[in-house]
Each structure stands twice: as C-alpha cells, then as structure tokens.
Structure 1
Amino acid sequence: MSTKFRAALAISSMLALTVVPAARAGAPRTSTVRDDARARADSIVARMTLAEKIALVHGLFPPFAVGKTKNELIMAAGHIDGIPRLGVPLVRESDASLGVANQVEQRKGDVATALPSALATAASFDPAIARAGGAMIGSEARAKRFNVLLAGGVNLTRDPWNGRNFEYLGEDPLLAGRLAGQHIVGVQSNRIVSTIKHFALNAQETGRMVADARIGEADLRMSDLLAFQIAIETGKPASVMCAYNKVNGDWACENDFLLNRVLKRDWRYPGWVMSDWGGVHSTAKAANAGLDQQSGQELDKAPYFSAPLEAAVTSGAVSAARLDDMVARYLTGLIQTGAYDTPMPAKPAAIPYAKNALVAQRTAEAGIVLLKNEGRLLPLARSAKRIVLIGGRADVGVLSGGGSSQVRSVGGAPIEIPLTSGAAMSFARYTYHASSPLKAIKAALPQAQVTFVDGTDVAAAAAAARNADIAIVFATQWTTEAQDVADLSLPDRQDTLIAAVAAAQPKTVAVLETGGPVTMPWLAQVPAVLQAWYPGQRGGEAIANLLTGKVNPSGRLPITFPASATQAPRPAPVGIDTLTSLEAQAAANPANASNYQLKSFPIDYVEGADVGYRWYEKKRRAPLFPFGHGLSYTNFAYRNFAVTGGKTLSVSFEVINTGKRAGADVPQIYVARAGSDTPMRLAAFTRVTLKPGETRRITLTAEPRILADYDTRLPGWRITGGQYRVALARDATDRTLTKMVALDAATMQP
C-alpha cells in the first residue's frame, strides 16, 4: 500500500521438500472447491441489481468515508459494504505485511503483534515459519474484525537500496514464492482473505507512481512472475493487488498482459484483482484489462468504478458480462476462503498476545544471520565480566521499518519520531519496538556487568570499548515505503563509530538492524557480525539468545550483500536525481509546488531474469556476502551426494552435524544447463535441524520451471534435453560438490 495515510494525515493532522510443479499440457488447473465457489458466486450475482453489482467493485477509504455508509467504519485501509438481502458480507481491509497495521495510530490504543521484517522470514528458508507468522497475523486480524488482509508481498529484490525490500522475501523466485505461498496459507487458515502483491515489478520506491518498468516477456516470466506464480499455486490467495507502476508502457492496474493474459488466462486465477490505493487511472480500460475492484476510491482522481463504471456498462464500453465477472470473482474469493460464511465478531475479541509474541520471537531467531564469527568470538563467553553495548538505541528497543506495514506493537513505542520531509512523511514514523537488547542481555548474563553508551560521542564509545572485555555495536539503517535509501552506507557516521570501537577493542561484535544490505568498510577489523534485520517486537530477546548461544544461529541470506553499490545492476534509484531537483524547486516555490511533479520515466531492467546472485555470477563479481550465506555455532558435512535425472531432477545426500551443538542447516541445490552461459539457479532447498552427531538423509526434487527457460513461441516452459550441472551448496557461490546429470526434453504450460 502506500499513500493511504498520506492524505488522511494531511486532513486530520509443514516443511515440504518439493514445490508443486507446473501443470503439464492437458492437466486440470482448477479444483472442485474453486469451481463450486464460482458456481455459487454466479448464482448470487444473477440475483443482483446493477446498483448492487457496482457497489461491490469499489471500496471506501475510511478516513475519507465518514457519512458514506450506514455501517461502522474502522479506521484502516478499506471498507466495502455488503448486501444483507443476499448474505454478502461487509468487508473490512487492513494492511498486514508484518502484523495488523496501525501506522499513525489512526485507531487510538490499538496494538498488535509485530513480526520481524519479511527478509527475516525469508532468511529462515523455512516455509513452516512463514505459515506460522501468517496464521498468527490472520488470527489477530479476525479478532480485530478485519476479513481482508493486504499481505503476501512477493516482489523480488532487484536493487539493494529499495526502501521496501524489508517487506519482501528476497531476490530468488523459488524461495520468495514458496514462503509467500505459505504465509498466505497461514493467513487464510483463519477464514479470511489474503492478497498477494504488488503485481508486478514494483521494484523501487522512487517514482513508483509513474515509473515504467521495462523487461522482456521471457525474462519477466522467469523471475518476478515466477515468484507470483509459485506463491499463487501454493497459497491460493483470494485476491491479487496490482501495482502502482507501469509495466512495458501500461499501468499495472490496467495492464491486459499481466491481468488478462498471464493471471487469468495462463494461470487460470479464479479470484479478484484489487487495485493498490491510488493506483487506478481509468474506467473502461482498467475494467476491460482485468481490474475487478477499485480500492480506497477517495485516493484516486475519481471514483472510476462507481458511477463512471455504471455509465460504461450502460453504454456498452464495458460489457454486462464483464461486470458480472468482476463481481463473481470478488465473491469467489470470499467464498473459497470461508470469509463469506464466517461472520466477524460484533466486538473485538480477546487476543493471546503473550503466545503470539513467541511466534515473532521464533521467526527472528530463525532468520537472524551470523555473517562472520572469526576466532569463534560468539557465542559470548560466560567468562566475560564487562560487556558494553554501543549505539542503535539498544537500551530501549529495536528498529522497525516504516510505511503501510508499520505495526504499533504490544508494549508500545519507546521511540517514535515524525518525519519532517520526504515522500513518506505523512504516513510513516521512525519507530522502535519496546524490546531492549540491553535488558535482554543483562538477563541472559547475570554474572556480567553490562553497560550502554549511546555512541554519539565516538571517542567516548571507543574508550568504553577499550575498558570492556567485549564491545557490541548496534548499528541501524531505517528504510520505509515511498522512499529509497540514498546509498548503502550506514547513516549518521555509524561506519566511523564501528571502526573506532573495533580499533579500541579487538573483541567487537557488530549487530545490524537494517532494511537490507549495507556496505561494511570496517569488516576486516570486526571479528563477528550479526545481521538482525528489523527483528520485531521480541527482537531484543532474540538477539540476546543468539549472542549468548541459547539459540544457535541458522539464518541464511535471502539477498546478496554487494561489496559496493557499483556491483549491482543500478548503483542508485533510477530517477532519484530528477526527483531531488524537483523537490528542491517545489521547496523554493511552495505556491507552485504542484508544478514540480516527477513525470513518467523508464526503468530498463537490463539484468532480465538474472536477478540478484545470478547477476553476480553472470558478471563474475564477488559480493561481500552471497545469497544463501550464514554461519552456525556447529558444523555440518554433506556425504553420499547422488543425482538422478530423466523426466525429473532428484538429489539425495546425507547431512551430518559434526559439531557439539544442536543446530539447523540449509542445504541448497543450484542447477544450470552444461555449456550454457546461464547462471546457476536455486532449484530446491530445505532446512534440517540435527542434534550433535546426528545424520539424516535428504531427498529433494528440483522445481521444473527453474530447470526450464520460458519460450514465448510455444508459449510455455521448455526444458532443453541434455547435460546439467548440479551443485549441492551452502550458498550461491559454493561449487564444492558438483555433479552432472542428463535431463529429458520437456515442455510445460505457461
């Protein structure tokens, strides 16, 4: 979502080892459950008046909708009245990527459980973790009387500086698709709707309302669209939310290729397409291109799907059959999830916040990544008597990302600073969750003297580090929806702080609370680095447990950390210089500020399908830390690696915990056709927890579309017969264990 609260504020001050493969030619693509839901929806639509149909295909934005409905308005993302005479329920929508959102406390006093950032979930490489988080959020949403959650973010990370990376699941389509799908399953297990968003190529925040994402069809199908396709197959979300940006010249919310051809024809998607808030630009074109519902109509230039749509249907510009399909898709989504037949509570229900907090903590503990541990500095030795924590507000809490995903967490916000400039100013705040690492580490190490200095005085911080046995520097990088980061350096001279502390104290640990990758000019001098992401409302406890060894680190990077910004396909947001210039002109001429607006501009995705780690391999660039990287306090070995080919690619091997601690490993399978210049692709993965000395045999089956290339001439997926390289790896650069296998030629439907 997006600009929902900008306008408001201005006015008001299972752990499966294989993925379901693509259907082969002639295979059924819809289930009996979905067919039954559509048949029921059609029967309801047949009894509606034209006015009733129109009423269901546009929604209200509650802060602007007072007096527009006789029903109670909850101040959140959206509201759509029902039709009592036909049993059509009232729908209330909430933002919900990381918890039931309440960004600028539009609902006074309403709190919710805050998960860590989605990148932390992705770093777990664990579909069960994703599903548990979704189930928890969905249960709280139902208790708060919401039956549609705007969750399911699956946009691939194409650029490390994207301000919204923390809300998504990384750079790989298989990992992102599988985990997003399970998150959606969890949400919808509560008999409510989850969306999947933002369809498609919403890959940067700078100029997101006007940017034109340009990419070839085959490359798009093999990257961003594949992530959506896998997530939709796995999670069966009742609604798809289209994006703000253009894709190859057409707005995503009126893009016939994306909505009609790919989503509804090729994937046979039965649910409804809702717009993002402020993302609609027309009536007939949008409806005919596949948009089924205008969301938060008050944030668009016009209520395009209200009276204008009724006029378009009357004139024939939009057919009556198309309107019926729009309404039937909406009802189908509500019916198949159970939202249609499960009444919402009349009043908010009790929520087991203490139990739910454990879900957030387990997610953080599974997703925090130990990037470096030279000399086994971690876990913290019990013999350490003096430990100093420096910076990052670690005395009071942990950082949260900003924007529509912002959760007002249980326990309150010890730090909350309104923004004074920037595109996110009116609907985001610089916010911390009340989970103090200082307090948690003190509780975990009662025998030690644990102190804190804020780090604003670099010399004083270095002196405190010198006088301690161990120094732990907490560094933060705040990112938010609607704005990209200026560069990949830590802000506010934190790189200088870390370097000074490391120079004074050889036993220095850096804990990074960031929205994504950052550069680390001090890395050679710092023996231990922990990537904590935005760790959620129990982040302090999770960090303490990993630092002290109560929990063994097991996270793996779902995103490449570049050694420098110039390694990535684009070193900075496209259009950022123009935007900065326009903002300066608007500030100098406030009376004519509306004249200085960013106009549509192209973003050419030159990397095509080679997103993230594939780009680095293709260009032979060594990143700072590769995709899939992560360390443990124990050691794992792989033995008896075997590969079978033919019609499917299957890999089996033994994983052995050769260390002295229980821990979790994440074996990864990468594949590429022999003799091609195609980078290796993640084709399978799993997460396995082992006791010391324990051995387990694992069998993984490769996702067939990862083995294939998309052929627009078929159209569909084509596996070229022949030899393939298969790597059993610890990260995307590991080629220690590699075998060859022969695969049969095959084709699959789009």
Structure 2
Amino acid sequence: MMHCCACIMVAQTSLPVYLDETESIEERIGDILSRMTLEEKVDMIHAQSKFSTKGCPRLGIPELWMSDGPHGVRMEIAWDSWKHAGWTNDSCTAFPALTCLAATFNPELAWKYGKAVGEEARFRKKDVLLGPGVNIYRVPLNGRNFEYMGEDPYLASRMVVPYIQGVQSNGVAACLKHFALNNQESNRKQVNVEVSDRALREIYLPAFKAGVEEGKVWMVMGAYNKFRGKFCSHHEFLLQKILKGEWQFDGVVVTDWGSAHDTREAALYGLDMEMGTGTDGLTKNTPLAYQDYYLAKPYLKMLRSGELPLSSLDDKVKRVLRLCLRTNMDRRRPYGSLATQEHADIARQIAEEGIVLLKNDNHFFPIKRGKYKKIAVIGQNAVRSLTVGGGSSELKAKKEIFPLEGLMSIYGKKNIYFSMGYTSGPSKFHPQLPAVDKADSLRYAAIALAKDADIVLFFGGLNKNYKQDCEGVDRTSYGLPYGQDQLIREILKVNKNVAVVLISGNAVSMPWIDDIPAVVQSWYLGSESGNAMGKVIAGDVNPSGKLPFSIPVRLEDNGACSFGASSYPGDGTNVYYKEDILVGYRWHDTQKIPALFPFGHGLSYTEFAYGELKTDKKIYDKDENIVLSLKLTNRGKCGGAESVQIYAGQSHPSVLRPIKELKAFKKVFLLPGESKNVTFSIPAKELAFYDEISKMWIVESDCFTFFCGASSTDIHDTVSVNIR
C-alpha cells in the first residue's frame, strides 16, 4: 500500500496533465499514472452513466463519451436510463447497414463510410463509436446479422480494416465487436459456445485479427456469450492469450453493456472497462449504481486488501489513458461535421453499390421512364421507416427517403399507385400503422390494384420489429412474416408482371421464386434508401452488389441448422458448432447442397466477359506471392462494375478442407466495350489451415486450384499451381 500512498502525495501536488507535445504517448501515460490515486484509477475503468466514463477531472483528463451505431450516431440517451434524452439536435445521417456495405465488395467505400460516420461522431462530441460488428453470419435467423459483414471471414476482413481507419482518422475510436462467437441473439447472455480451435481460427477470428493488426483499432468489445464455459468479456484465452498476446492489441477491452460477471476474472483476464452492468440485474433497481459495478468498489476493496495485484489495475488505466490521448486529449483532431450533403451522397453511393439484383428474367429491370402508365407499388416496406428500431443500432435520421418517394420522383406521382398490402401492426416507433386485424382488407385492396396495373413492384421482406432483424432475439421462421408469401401468390393470380424487392438484413425463403421474373435483395439503406432504390430500378445506376451470404432454399440446407437444435439455437445451456469450418458456401459446396442464391451472386444490366485466368509461373515457394491475372471486358451497352472473385482449393489436403475459399476480390468499373487487365497477388501463406495438434498455421506442399468467377458457383476459369 506504500505505492498507493506515494501516488496520493504526488497527485496532491500535480497540475493538469496537458504535457509537452514532444513527449511520446507512452511517456505521457507513465507520467499521468504516477500522479493518480488508487480511487481515481478505479474510477476511470467503469461507467459513470449509460454511455460515459468519469475520466480524472483533477488532472484534466476528460470524460470518455461513447455512442451506439455502426450505421450512424445514435440519438442521445438519458444519463441513467435507456430513455431517449429528447434532444432536438441529435439527428444524423443514417448510413446503410453493414450487410449492405459488405455487399458492395468495395473496400474504398468502406473507408468513405468510416470517415463519414466518424465525422458525425466527432461533431456530436463522441470519443468512441461502438462498431463495426464482424460476427460471422452463421444462420439466417440471427436477429443481428444486418449489423455484420456476412458469412465469409476474408470478405469481412477486407471490408472492416478501411472502415476502422476511416472512423479513427477523426480522432474517434472504432470499437470492434462482439469478441467473440456472438453468432445468435437467442439466449445470447448465457449460451455457451462449443467450437473447434480450427473453426475459431479460420472462420470466427480473422476479421477481428485484421481489425486489430491491420486496422489498428483502439477498442474491442467483449461478447455476452460464453466460450468453453467462460464468459467472453473476461476470458483468459480470448483476451489475454490471443487478443493482447498474439495480436498485441494495445487498446481498451470494454464489456458489452452488462456482460461482466465477476470481479476477480474481470481484473485478471483481460477486461479493461465495464459498462452497463445494470442491464444484467446486478444493479437494475438501483439508480446511479455505477460504484457497485464489478470493477468499481468490489475491485477497489480487493486491491486494498491485497487480494488482487495493483499491476492488474495499472495495465487497464494505461490502456484507457492511451485511448484518451488518441481521442479526447488529442488537440489535433478535426471538428467533424453532421448530416451534410457529402454524407448523404456517400450513404447513397453505398446503397446503390450494395443493392443486389438476384433474378432478372427477360430484362424485367431496368424499368425505363414512360414505359408503363400504371405502376402498382405494394408493400409496407415501401413506406416504413427502417432506420428506427432493431435495438442499439436505432437512429434518428435527419431525413429518410422511402422507396415510394424515390419511385414517385422518377416516374411521376400520376404513374405510381400504392397499396400497403400487409401490416406488421403498430409499434412504439410506428403507432400510425394499421393493426393486424386490418390484414384482410389491406390484402384485398392490394390485389384489386394489382389486377389493373401494368406492372407490380412488391416491397416486402423483414423489418426491425421484435423477432425480425432485431437485437436481443432471433427470428423464429425462415419465411416472410405478416402473410407476405400468401399475398405474393394471390397477386400473381391476377398479374404475372411482378417483381419482388426484399428489404432485409437476412436471407428469407422464396417459395414463389419460379413464378417471379425479377427479384432484388435490398438492405436497410438508410437516409437515401428511396433515391438509391429508385435509381437502380430505373437504370440510372447499374446494380453491382454481390451477396455477402448464401441464401439456402430451405432453412435445413444451412449448415448449422442441418444438425438440429443442439447446433442452433442450442439446448438452453450449450450450442455446438457442428458444421465446424463449413460455414455458408463452404457447406453448400462440400455437401453438394445448392443454394437458392450463392455467396457472391449478383447480376448486372450489362454483360461481362472473363478472359483466361493466368499465373506467372506454376511452382511457388511458401513465402512467395501467387500472381494471377485475367482480362475483363464489358460487352454490354451500359457502364457497370463487376466484383471479380478468386477462390482457392487444395487438391490433396491431410485434413478436411472446403472445396474452395475466397482469397481475393476486386471491383472493376468498365464503360461499354472497355477492357481492363485485373491482377491479384495472393500470399501463399493465405492458403494455410490451422493445425489443432501443433497449434500452428500450415501450408502443405500440394497442388492448389484457383477459381475465378462472378460468384462462388459461377466460375469462369481455373488455374492450378504447385506449392513447395
């Protein structure tokens, strides 16, 4: 305790710590730490309100303020409750959900996205933006899949790095979440995940690793769930061995709100900051209970008694101070901007590039202006706000252009006729919506409109209601909710000229697919939703999105769901990842179960011709880069973009491996008739698998085939090389 007394003596004579700018961050951290009392140190590592920590006012160290929202800066929340604070100046740009960003297959857009949302966070005086999320899309029912970047770890890795860099260029920390294995919302706060080391390393950790090692993220959020019997937010193996050990993460590990469960484990096993414990029942009925958190008075008591070492606290405080010096104590950081036209344009571009054209028989799309006099727009999602709800990603958008508005602006109000068709019922966010008992009258009205229309555009899918795309709970059915499948069938009886636009963050079943000529997979597109969708439908923008996840025909065709309840959603205590490394398209390929629409799929209004896939040589050493190239040509009559995808498969592996795995992609923009040479450089080390015996990554000497295509199944050419 002598050390603590010495700290107090120094601190009493200390001045505010805006130190010499020539000093390094680590020198400043050491100086500040030496001035702090034990109580001040403990105060820095737990919440003082729902979204802030105390800082150290005596030494001039500011509060840290955080905000939810990988898709935009959430509206202000009250100091000590989850109620909206009722501010009038907390509206924002609603950016598309991260599933849409992943569907762009465009890392340059990821940087623009991160920079823009970081500017809004900075303007709102936030020091941490609680995102992005990179939990792998394991099952189509996960209520939070819309916040993540799909089923493939390579795609998620390439998209998350520039997003993080863009956010942090504003002096605002990105917070990579939820570490790790938070792949379902059902029973998320207790479920124990059992998964192999190999699947952990090959599927569920790569995007986190890239975010830490390449993106240099400043904060990582622990997950609610357990892994092998221990809660992830204070997990020695995940946090100490992997995150802070192998990956050398030098930032702050923060709990998800209420994911801490034990003071000793939190102190010793890698947690740095505790937030929101009231949500798990410990302090739920006690106002302003922040001093009762696991890393507050209970921790202080154990430090004073010698039960826990002071070094455990000092490491946490150093990390928090490092975060402060990168954010709210960095005098050079820009001021940011909020809800600007530039941000709206970026949001629209992401939306336009993320929309996926799934099916387009007989060139149904684009619909040129003046082609039809009576266009029937049917479906609640054409007029429903989809920026609100869904959990912590809710937003108060400064504006939100609905699909119906976007279509009217393009085709004229006199040519657009709207009928709601179905209802999800009123909610706290949409009290004006019709009740469910109005469903029959809505359906009859929609069918009557469809019967006399030249063309029908059905806007359906999911929304952010409870048990839809929503935090805290998963979907319970793979089909479309609110009677939409039945309504589509009945519309087809009176009009065959029908297209379906699905707005969701998840795959859905499509039992009507053979009878529908055109299907669009849209997403939660944010503020510019209607403008982006209208431009794609009219052909002002050529769709170029690619699916970031597979869409199975049936739910049981999904790998995790094929093994029954023990594999998903679990037996109430445990969930066993029985599909192991065969997630998404890896499962469909290996098990020879065709997807309805495969990973990477997305059509265009133009036609791309793939040239021969070539490599500069046939034999490579394991420390070399494999160079691949091809010529891509736009053979159509309009400009467009194609995301060329490169997959790799091993010929004679000593362990089970997928048929092929994504190893590179490049989005190429071409004018009509234009050709470009597309080159890829793939490190041979990226062909490794994780060996569970040696605990090492291994590249075997073998023949590897590279597949070049427009999706995981639309393969245009292959080439093989030998690795020695």
Quote the residue 1:341 is aligned against. 330
TM-score by length of 1: 0.83
Quote the residue 1:239 is aligned against. 219
Q: Is 1:470 equivalent to 2:452 in the alignment?
A: no
Q: How far 1:308 sits from its partner (Å)?
A: 1.2
Question: 1: CA distance between counterparts of 2:568 and 2:685?
Answer: 39
Question: 2: CA distance between counterparts of 1:304 and 1:615?
Answer: 42
Quote the residue 1:50 is aligned against. 38
Q: Is 1:147 equivalent to 2:127 in the alignment?
A: yes
SS of the residue aligned with 1:685? Answer: strand
Q: Is 1:483 equivalent to 2:483 in the alignment?
A: no
Q: How far 1:523 sits from its partner (Å)?
A: 0.5
SS of the residue aligned with 2:70? Answer: coil
Deviations 1:490-547 (A, max 9, x none): 0011011112223322221101111210000011111111111111121011110000
8 Å CA contact 1:395–1:452 kept in 2: the answer is no
Q: 1:178 to 1:495 in 2, by over 3 A?
A: same
Q: 1:730 to 1:305 in 2, by over 3 A?
A: same
Question: 2: CA distance between counterparts of 1:673 and 1:41?
Answer: 49
SS of the residue aligned with 1:44? Answer: helix
Question: 2: CA distance between counterparts of 1:39 and 1:654?
Answer: 53
Matches within 5 A, 1:81-230: 81-102=54-75, 105-109=84-88, 110-230=90-210
Quote the residue 1:655 is aligned against. 632
Question: 1: CA distance between counterparts of 2:696 and 2:387?
Answer: 44
Q: Is 1:354 equivalent to 2:341 in the alignment?
A: yes
> Which letter does structure 1 place at the counterpart of 2:455?
I
8 Å CA contact 1:60–1:297 kept in 2: the answer is no
Question: 2: CA distance between counterparts of 1:569 and 1:487?
Answer: 16
Quote the residue 2:16 is aligned against. none
Q: 1:111 to 1:573 in 2, by over 3 A?
A: farther
Question: 2: CA distance between counterparts of 1:203 and 1:532?
Answer: 22
> Which letter does structure 1 place at the counterpart of 2:323?
G
Q: How far 1:89 sits from its partner (Å)?
A: 2.4
Quote the residue 1:439 is aligned against. 405
Question: 2: CA distance between counterparts of 1:225 and 1:349?
Answer: 32
SS of the residue aligned with 2:527? Answer: coil
Provide the alpha-carbon RMSD of the alignment: 2.5
Q: Is 1:606 equivalent to 2:583 in the alignment?
A: no
Q: 1:561 to 1:722 in 2, by over 3 A?
A: same
SS of the residue aligned with 1:94? Answer: strand
Question: 2: CA distance between counterparts of 1:314 and 1:290?
Answer: 20
Q: Which residue of 672, 675, 681 corresponds with 1:695?
A: 675
SS of the residue aligned with 2:47? Answer: coil
Structure 2, gaps ≥5 residues long: 1-20, 78-82, 283-291, 423-441, 464-468
8 Å CA contact 1:117–1:401 kept in 2: the answer is no
Question: 1: CA distance between counterparts of 2:714 and 2:568?
Answer: 40
Larger RCO (alpha carbons 8 Å, 6+ apart): 1
Q: How far 1:714 sits from its partner (Å)?
A: 4.0
Deviations 1:396-439 (A, max 9, x none): 6556561001111113xxxxxxxxxxxxxxxxxxxxxx422222
Structure 1, gaps ≥5 residues long: 1-32, 63-77, 412-433, 580-597, 745-750
SS of the residue aligned with 1:356? Answer: helix
Q: Is 1:670 equivalent to 2:647 in the alignment?
A: yes
Q: How far 1:232 sits from its partner (Å)?
A: 1.8
Q: 1:491 to 1:299 in 2, by over 3 A?
A: closer
Quote the residue 1:524 is aligned against. 514
Q: 1:572 to 1:275 in 2, by over 3 A?
A: farther
Question: 2: CA distance between counterparts of 1:719 and 1:117?
Answer: 36
Question: 1: CA distance between counterparts of 2:205 and 2:454?
Answer: 50
TM-score by length of 2: 0.86
> Which letter does structure 2 place at the counterpart of 1:613?
Y
Deviations 1:673-728 (A, max 9, x none): 11345211100111111111111111112255541111244433111122101100
8 Å CA contact 1:179–1:231 kept in 2: the answer is no
Quote the residue 2:587 is aligned against. 615
Q: 1:398 to 1:312 in 2, by over 3 A?
A: closer
Question: 1: CA distance between counterparts of 2:486 and 2:164?
Answer: 42
Quote the residue 1:316 is aligned against. 306
Deviations 1:12-64 (A, max 9, x none): xxxxxxxxxxxxxxxxxxxxx9x9534432332222221111111111233xx
Count of aligned pairs: 653
SS of the residue aligned with 2:113? Answer: helix
Q: How far 1:633 sits from its partner (Å)?
A: 0.3
Q: How far 1:575 sits from its partner (Å)?
A: 7.1
8 Å CA contact 1:111–1:410 kept in 2: the answer is yes
SS of the residue aligned with 2:65? Answer: strand
SS of the residue aligned with 2:600? Answer: coil
Question: 1: CA distance between counterparts of 2:381 and 2:644?
Answer: 36
Q: How far 1:359 sits from its partner (Å)?
A: 1.6
Q: How far 1:741 sits from its partner (Å)?
A: 0.6
> Which letter does structure 2 place at the counterpart of 1:711?
D
8 Å CA contact 1:682–1:706 kept in 2: the answer is no
Question: 2: CA distance between counterparts of 1:737 and 1:144?
Answer: 50
Q: 1:684 to 1:344 in 2, by over 3 A?
A: closer
Question: 2: CA distance between counterparts of 1:633 and 1:471?
Answer: 20
Quote the residue 1:449 is aligned against. 415
Question: 2: CA distance between counterparts of 1:353 and 1:135?
Answer: 13
Quote the residue 1:492 is aligned against. 482
SS of the residue aligned with 1:614? Answer: helix
Q: Is 1:326 equivalent to 2:303 in the alignment?
A: no
Matches within 5 A, 1:635-654: 635-643=607-615, 644=617, 645-646=620-621, 647-654=624-631
Question: 2: CA distance between counterparts of 1:340 and 1:529?
Answer: 50
Q: Is 1:546 equivalent to 2:536 in the alignment?
A: yes
8 Å CA contact 1:638–1:653 kept in 2: the answer is yes
8 Å CA contact 2:563–2:578 kept in 1: the answer is no
Quote the residue 1:380 is aligned against. 367
8 Å CA contact 1:238–1:334 kept in 2: the answer is no
Question: 2: CA distance between counterparts of 1:145 and 1:344?
Answer: 11
SS of the residue aligned with 1:666? Answer: strand
Deviations 1:547-573 (A, max 9, x none): 000110000000110100011134399
SS of the residue aligned with 2:129? Answer: strand
Q: 1:354 to 1:641 in 2, by over 3 A?
A: same
Deviations 1:175-210 (A, max 9, x none): 112212211111111111111000000000000000
Question: 2: CA distance between counterparts of 1:284 and 1:460?
Answer: 62
Q: Is 1:560 equivalent to 2:550 in the alignment?
A: yes
Q: How far 1:465 sits from its partner (Å)?
A: 1.9
Q: Is 1:364 equivalent to 2:376 in the alignment?
A: no
SS of the residue aligned with 2:715? Answer: coil
Q: 1:552 to 1:349 in 2, by over 3 A?
A: closer
SS of the residue aligned with 2:313? Answer: helix
Question: 1: CA distance between counterparts of 2:455 and 2:376?
Answer: 7
Q: 1:174 to 1:400 in 2, by over 3 A?
A: farther
